[in-house]
Amino acid sequence: MDKSLENKLIKSIGEKRYNHSIRVMETAIELAHTYNIDIEKIKTAAILHDCAKIIDETYLLKRASDFDIILDACMEYNHELIHGPLGAKIAKEEYGIKDSEILDAIYYHTTGREKMSILDKIIYMADYIEPYRNFPGVEEVRRLAFDNLNKALLLAMEKTIIFLIERNKVIYPDTIRARNYLIIESRFDK
């Protein structure tokens, strides 16, 4: 990414979130090497995945409406869910990203989705396990991520779903679909 876009990103999400994005990128590159995936798209998707992580709620909602994002009931209830779809729009319109695989990986990085692409999977996982993440159970997912990406994703999603249930929070339907699909997809694995 060129310097001016990098500065724009730091300005809009702040230094702390930007540093997180760098760690996600580094982790995503390690995963890409492990699974023999080309790193160019991964680098772009990772650095921009949180480009819509706007701290100011009012401004976040304004941006979402500027980009004609229709908030469903879950997004209305949990504004945290907006930054994926909004990020895909901002990446396209303001950072000049045209590749739909990159835009999809940004769009679905918080929830996952049915039939996740390898790029979706690596961004989701890197965001979950980047080195500063230290919630209970992250070590197990981190180890598994470099051994069996689908199993690691399944575990990460199950932990997320349990976390949400314990806190009486909504579970985004795409996360359920992602988990179902991972199970169906792995039915022939040993």
Q: Which residues of the shown chain bind Fe ion in the complex (CB under 5 A)? A: 50, 127
Whether the Cβ atoms of residue 150 and residue 118 lie closer than 8 Å to each other: no
Least Cβ distance, residue 126 to Fe ion (angstroms): 9
Q: What is the rounded CA–CA span in Å between residue 37 and residue 53?
A: 27
Least Cβ distance, residue 53 to Fe ion (angstroms): 6
Least Cβ distance, residue 133 to Fe ion (angstroms): 10
* 80 or 183: CB nearest Fe ion: 80
- The CA–CA distances, whole Å, from 161 to 20, 150, 177 equal 23, 16, 12
* 50 or 120: CB nearest Fe ion: 50
* 17 or 151: CB nearest Fe ion: 17
- The CA–CA distances, whole Å, from 110 to 1, 8, 107, 124, 188 equal 23, 22, 8, 7, 27
* 50 or 104: CB nearest Fe ion: 50
Least Cβ distance, residue 87 to Fe ion (angstroms): 7
